[in-house]
Amino acid sequence: MLATGPGRLRDFDVRGSALQIPAPEVATRAGCASAPRWDAAVAAAIEEAQALARPRARARALEEGELPSLMSSDTPLLAIARGGPRWAIVATVGGGPERQVREHFESKRFLEGLLLDAAASVAVEALCDLLEHECAREVAHRPGEARRFSPGYCGWTLAAQAPLLALLEAADLGITLEPSLFMLPLKTVSGLVVHGLPHDLEVPPQACATCPSRRCCRRHPHDIKERREP
Amino acid sequence: MKQFEDIREALIEGRDEDVPSLVSQALDAGHPPATILSQGLIAAMEVVGERFRCHDYFLPDVLMSARAMHAGLDCLQPHLAEAEIRTRGTVIIGTVQGDLHDIGKNLVGIMLQGAGFEVIDLGHDVSPEAFVEAVRRHSAGIVGMSALLTTTMPAMARVIASLKAAGLDQVKTVIGGAPVSEAFAREIGADGYGYDAARAVDLVKGFVVP
């Protein structure tokens, strides 16, 4: 249990081998969904990712008054974030997987590199799922569900990563932010978990307008059409 | 010809352990290295590319074939160099300055090699100056750039501007990466936008068609 009171940092430790990395998601990311002949290779990549992962995750409950440091008044997600209990989160599987991905490509083990990269990406999302679940448990008495949002998506500026990481004191976890606003290790996710009723967590259409994500389940149908490949 | 058929079949099936010996056999039989390259390795990768476009092959299939192609190329390379065989063209690729993501760029490079191009991969976090220098050093006609973040996309425009400033206006530029779009390519004056690795390769091929 996290038990994160406002301002208090709570770490969530899990072994890499305990990360549940769903094979279908890895296959989808690696471009071989619905291709059973690659199942064994996907399974091997998942094992490799679990062995190389050094998961670190942290959450911090946020007061509504802290939101302006993370979101400007015109951020489409602000209303959602204000609507319910919220936590700043950060999770990483460490730099091991990305180093091994490079090694694979340099050694011309292209397939292994591709699949490990996909497995590591899914692994950090799996870690976030655990974190999200722990946040939801803190407010289990309330109706609703937890959902997470990350800078760079849903119209939330990527620049918000800086105050998020500062709030979470993420440097302690070995997580840093580069000047061009990507986090190191690369397989790191930061964001907000918000708890509320599904309707209150629905992303407004304007949030999709500037979002670069092409395959988002929350993307509004009209926007998917507009962003289809040329 | 049976020997070329065998090479193609092994490569299409991604049998990297078989391709080198089949290439050696073709060389021993007196086939010119350039013919083995074009009718064996490249022809097979064309089939792989077509199957990928038709969704008969998945990305892992392409990568297994690419690995087999590399195994064959390793065997063929000394003979190609000796005979001064020219590739289809030289492409400089890199992830732009400030960006460290290189999976997409790697895939494009692998597929370009499969299509018979010489690929000079500058890696990630590549400055505009390094792109210009590489174009000059390798007399390259095409530059491929990748970016994963909106914050690093502007570096693509700086590369194009640097090429122009260096008098390398004739160099074609292709951009790609998750946040990049056709509209952005037009905005910065890039010659093409590769929605995915296969499209990027098609674009590059289009640049060298007489």
Tell me what percent of the residues of chain A surpass a pLDDT of 90.
Answer: 77
pLDDT of res. A215? 65
Task: State in Å, rounded, how far the first CA of chain A is from the last one.
Answer: 47
Helix (H) or strand (E) holding B142: strand B142-146
Cα–Cα dist A108/A33, whole Å: 23
pLDDT of A104 > 90? The answer is: yes
Q: Is A159 exposed, middle or buried (0-12, 13-18, 19+ CB in 10 A)?
A: middle
pLDDT of B36 > 90? The answer is: yes
Strands A176-177 and A9-12: unpaired
pLDDT tens digits for range A113-128: 999 999 999 999 999 9
Instruction: Report the gap between the CA of A31 and the closest CA in chain B (Å).
Output: 5
Helix (H) or strand (E) holding A44: helix A39-52
Number of cross-chain residue pairs from A and B with Cβ atoms under 8 Å apart: 73
pLDDT of A227 > 50? The answer is: no
Residue A105 has its nearest CB partner, among B99, B106, B193, at B106
Among A175, A157, A166, smallest CA distance to A212 is for A157
Contact assignment for B63 to A180 by CB distance below 8 Å:
no
Among all chains, which residue has been given the structure tokens 């072994």?
Answer: A15
Contact yes or no for B163/B171 (Cβ under 8 A)? yes
CA atoms within 13 A on the CB side of A10: 20
Q: Is the peptide bond before A212 cis (omega within 30 degrees of 0)?
A: no
Average pLDDT, chain B: 94
Contact assignment for A110 to B66 by CB distance below 8 Å:
yes
Residue A158 has its nearest CB partner, among B60, B70, B149, at B149
The two tokens of residue B203 are 């674009």
Task: Give the pLDDT mean for A22-50.
Answer: 95
ipTM: 0.89
CA atoms within 13 A on the CB side of B163: 28
Task: Give the pLDDT mean for A151-180.
Answer: 94
Confidence band, pLDDT 50/70/90 cuts, at residue A226:
very low
Among all chains, which residue has been given the structure tokens 């750039």?
Answer: B145
pLDDT of B1 > 90? The answer is: no
Residues of chain A with Cβ-Cβ distance to B196 below 8 Å are: 229
Confidence band, pLDDT 50/70/90 cuts, at residue A209:
confident
Closest residue, chain A, to B149 (C-alpha): A182
Contact yes or no for A149/A161 (Cβ under 8 A)? no
Closest residue, chain B, to A118 (C-alpha): B103
Task: Give the pLDDT mean for A136-143.
Answer: 92
pLDDT of A228 > 50? The answer is: no
Helix (H) or strand (E) holding A177: strand A176-177
Cα–Cα dist A183/A160, whole Å: 12
pLDDT tens digits for range B178-190: 889 999 999 999 9
A153–chain B Cβ distance below 8 A for any pair: no
pLDDT tens digits for range B122-178: 999 999 999 999 999 999 999 999 999 889 999 999 999 999 999 999 999 999 998
pLDDT tens digits for range B57-89: 999 999 999 999 999 999 998 998 777 777 889
Confidence band, pLDDT 50/70/90 cuts, at residue B210:
low
Cα–Cα dist A175/B151, whole Å: 19
pLDDT of res. A94? 97
B189–chain A Cβ distance below 8 A for any pair: no
CA A219 to chain centre: 16
Range of weakest confidence among A106-110, A166-170, B206-210: B206-210
pLDDT of A30 > 70? The answer is: yes
Contact yes or no for A163/A150 (Cβ under 8 A)? no
Residue A30 has its nearest CB partner, among B59, B179, B182, at B59
Tell me what percent of the residues of chain B surpass a pLDDT of 70.
Answer: 99
pLDDT of A224 > 50? The answer is: no
Residue A30 has its nearest CB partner, among B60, B110, B179, at B60
